[in-house]
Chains A and B, each alone.
Chain A
Amino acid sequence: MATKAIVLNAGRLVRTRLSAIIQPTRANAAVAPDGRLQVRPGQGGVALGIALGSPAGGWVADHLEPGVSLIHPEPAANGALQTLACAGNRVTMVDGPAAGAEGVVFGKHGAVLAMFAATDLARIAPGESAVVVTEGVGLAVEGEPDFACHSCSPRLLERLLVGRDPRDRLRVLIRRVLPAETAAAGIGMPVWRFNMDLHVDQEPLAELTRDLRFGDIVAVQDQDHRFGRQYRKGWLCVGVIAHGVSIAGGHGFGFMTLLTAPGDRIVLEQTDDAALGRLLG
């Protein structure tokens, strides 16, 4: 018997132009579990020499945001930027030496994170302006009421979903499956605006996450992220690795939720191709 086709509501989604500026870089002071205080380059600014596909771990930094970090100075407009930006949305620099350069949204932390080519990153600086063409909020799969998307463009979802299995479950490409204990700071916060950190410093989670790269698509078990982020047995969430680690306990790789569903509606397919750079390339 043929499985049901996957029909998205992409044709009904609005495309909107939002303005943003490159957030200034912060220097973060963080305390390790043994009490050591370290000051490291933190979120914001423009990170050079790091691309989608670069190792997410190993950098001497705190909550490293690859690429550029986008904010809007007016709180409500920033709320719109944080909410409407989706992985796969196009970003264009509108002033500064890199005006006209095009990049792509790949994650959220507090800021919206976008990646540009290395030669463009080398010319972008904090305070410069960009336009994000947002599209994706409201994205759904027809006939799948329990399957919810966040921060995911139709272009990305079309590549993440590769069909249905014989039980009609949606087949989702991922690079790694992580247990519920991986979920850390960010539980209880709005799922559509911010990321969730992953515990990656203690075994067995350290071994499971050691080789992850920026842009990798990973799943966390027993997480229901429809209306927020919370533990719920049998559910799954799938997201993208978007920022680096902190020495502070309870913080680690940043995970931006892309989709969530009960385990009887999706089936995970592990492949090294489940990385944003490859899926959108």
Chain B
Amino acid sequence: MNRLRDNRTQIVRTAVAGRIAPVRFHTETLNIDRNGRLTLLPGSGGINLDVHCGDPVDQWLADHLMVGASIEDAESLPASPGALHLLACLGNTVRDAAGRTIGVVAGKRGGLAPDFFPPNLVAVEMPDTVAELLKPSDRVVVEAYGRGLVLTDRTELVLANLSPSLLDAMPLREERDRLVVDVTAILPARVAGAGLGSDRWIGDLEITEMEPLIGNTASLHFGDLVAFDGIDARTNRFFNPECVAIGAVAHGPSPAPGHGVGVTILMTGPRSVLQPQIDSSSGFGAAFRRLTHSIAFATPDNGH
């Protein structure tokens, strides 16, 4: 448990309604892979059974696969990032229409240019016994909690998509004047792909080639923490050699050029303050899954 001070007592917990997204195929686009071949795989939207935080991202033959159910804002078709997407944080509880807890937010996907094939999805980690009872278009409610979260003594670090409960569970510690975060891999800015130039609260930043500076990208799991060296995500996600951005693996690989494993940014700041460090013991994904289940299926109204 870290002892960083934050402003969580000032953060508003808000119920935001949305729906489970259908599986979508954008047939108006050319679905070609890095070698120009037609490639059509499931993964975008819907409810993915057997896919959980802590599982290897490349276990399935899929494209942009996320854990559990993918949910989205319900105000427009196709969904644009509205209150649900912009306020949801990893670690937030999600309920169904009857008010029963169904899972916990575990990642985001999206961030493309406005009005351009926008699969702006939020992944909800849940037990398969729950997932089997759900279907696309079902109403969901996210208890959004975390937008506005600030580390009171480290305001040069910018947080995003991070609930207080996930912050508490993150493997981080203060060493002298730095905040050290255990990650599975550190990637150079040059392999940052789709997601550059978009709002850090929307979707993710994708790893186009697994060429880590350090660490192991051969065994990434959903929920693992990774760092981009030279990426600044204070507003949008962009190249800045003085900065580092740390996030959680939100979706699996994609055969499309410029796409790959997606990372939803949780924390960004100057390299002099924020220091990712390789933890070779195990990824954060397994701990993330345990956390989601403890959040979702603890006592009602947990945390308040």
Binds A, one of B13-21, B90-98, B234-242, B281-289: B234-242
Name the CB-closest residue of A to B259: A188
Q: B193, A231: Cβ atoms under 8 Å?
A: yes
Q: A65 to chain B: which residues have CB within 8 Å?
A: none
- Within A183-205, the residues touching B (CB, 8 Å) are 183-191, 197, 199, 201-205
Q: A231, B190: Cβ atoms under 8 Å?
A: yes
| Bound CA span A177–B33, Å | 27
Q: B234, A249: Cβ atoms under 8 Å?
A: yes
- Least CB distance, B230 to chain A, in whole angstroms: 7
Q: A33, B238: Cβ atoms under 8 Å?
A: yes
Q: B258, A249: Cβ atoms under 8 Å?
A: no
Q: A251 to chain B: which residues have CB within 8 Å?
A: 197, 236, 238
- Least CB distance, A220 to chain B, in whole angstroms: 10
Of B189, B196, B230, chain A has the most CB atoms within 10 Å of the CB of B196
Q: A185 to chain B: which residues have CB within 8 Å?
A: 113, 196-198
Residue B208 CB within 8 A of the other chain: yes
Partner of B257, one of A181, A199, A224, A233: A224
Q: A187, B208: Cβ atoms under 8 Å?
A: yes
Residue A230 CB within 8 A of the other chain: yes
- Within A27-41, the residues touching B (CB, 8 Å) are 31-35
Interface size range on B against A:
35 or more
Q: A204-B241, A228-B32 are in contact. List 13 more A-B contacts (CB 8 A).
A: A184-B196, A185-B197, A186-B197, A187-B193, A187-B196, A187-B208, A188-B193, A199-B238, A201-B238, A227-B35, A229-B258, A230-B193, A248-B235
Q: B238, A228: Cβ atoms under 8 Å?
A: no
Partner of A188, one of B28, B36, B239, B258: B258
Residue B191 CB within 8 A of the other chain: yes
Task: Report how many residues on chain A are interfacial, defined by Cβ distance under 8 Å.
Answer: 41
- Least CB distance, A23 to chain B, in whole angstroms: 14
Name the CB-closest residue of A to B188: A181
Name the CB-closest residue of A to B37: A227
Q: Interface of B with A (CB < 8 Å)?
A: 28-30, 32-36, 112-113, 116, 189-198, 206, 208-209, 211, 230, 232, 234-241, 256-259
| Bound CA span A250–B202, Å | 14
Residue A171 CB within 8 A of the other chain: no
| Bound CA span A180–B236, Å | 19
Name the CB-closest residue of A to B36: A227
Q: B237, A189: Cβ atoms under 8 Å?
A: no
Q: A187, B239: Cβ atoms under 8 Å?
A: no
| Bound CA span A248–B114, Å | 14
Can you give 23 A-B contacts (C-beta < 8 A)? Answer: A31-B236, A33-B240, A34-B234, A181-B189, A181-B230, A182-B239, A184-B196, A185-B198, A186-B197, A188-B195, A188-B208, A190-B29, A205-B239, A227-B32, A227-B33, A227-B34, A228-B34, A231-B258, A249-B234, A249-B235, A250-B236, A250-B237, A251-B238
